A and B are shown apart, each in its own frame.
With several copies, the nearest count.
Chain A
Amino acid sequence: MTVIIKDTPINPYQDLQEYEETKLTKNNAIGASNIFIGTMRDFNEGDHVKLMSLEHYPGMTEKQLNKIIAAANQQWALIDILIIHRVGDILPNEPIVLVSAWSSHRGDAFDACRFIMENLKSKAPFWKKERLINEQERWVISNTKGYLTTKNY
């Protein structure tokens, strides 16, 4: 179970491959992994965004993310969890966050990954400030809901 906050670019696929090769244990029991990657879009609320600055509360961020991981571990049978979150200045197309959940079964991997993302979005102390193409700066007011579907699978 690993939490990484960093101000350098996330390379999702390299970071995942490296994590699996060096840190992940119990490989033969893994039957499912679910990975979420959140990427900076170049638009928000109808405006073109050229840069985003991500502020965080060092210490509390890690504490809250570890609490979220502990809560996920209580609800699902998980082999490992990796959370990487970028801070500082970010450009469009760059990854902001990566969450991966490894499990023996797909239900647990899917559910845990989503639980972690929804809780990260509502509880982890990060704040986004956008710089628009006219150089205007503004704080993002709130995250959108990651609505849960009522549709049948």
Chain B
Amino acid sequence: MSIKIRYFASLKDYIGHSEDEIIYEKALTVSEVWQQATQNKIKPQNTLVAVNMDYVSWDELVNDSDEVAFFPPVTGG
């Protein structure tokens, strides 16, 4: 199972790059994706997550070829 991961704004600065990809055998939750991709980095407070461009909760299961994005609270408008 291949999962694409993206980081935006201050979270991209925190991680140090904007994209990751992980290959995994079993189904993962969004929380587990964070742990695998960031090698257990502490998750900044208020971090948001989207799967395939929709907001999800951290226990959501991720499917093959999903795009998972992590980012801080939005500040547009």
Contact = CB atoms under 8 A, between A and B. Distances in A.
A56 B69 contact: no
Nearest to B9: A127
Interface stretch (A11-19, A20-28, A69-77, A139-147): A139-147
B50 A126 contact: no
A9 interface: no
Interface in A15-66: 38, 54-57, 59-60, 63-64
Interface residues of A, number: 28
Contacts of B8: 55, 57, 125, 127
Interface in B37-61: 50, 53-55
Contact of A97 (B9, B53, B77): B77
A124 interface: yes
Contact of A60 (B10, B53, B72): B53
A142 B54 CA distance: 20
Interface in B56-77: 69, 71-77
* Interface residues of chain A: helix, strand, loop or mixed (majority): mixed
Interface in A85-128: 85, 96-97, 117, 120-128
B77 A57 contact: no
Contacts of B9: 55, 127, 129, 139
Nearest to B48: A125
Interface in B4-48: 6, 8-10, 13
A56 B71 CA distance: 10
B76 A54 contact: yes
6 contacts: A63-B54, A85-B77, A120-B76, A121-B76, A125-B69, A127-B72
Interface of A: 38, 54-57, 59-60, 63-64, 85, 96-97, 117, 120-129, 139-143
Interface of B: 6, 8-10, 13, 50, 53-55, 69, 71-77
Closest 4 CB pairs of A and B: A126-B76, A127-B9, A60-B53, A121-B77
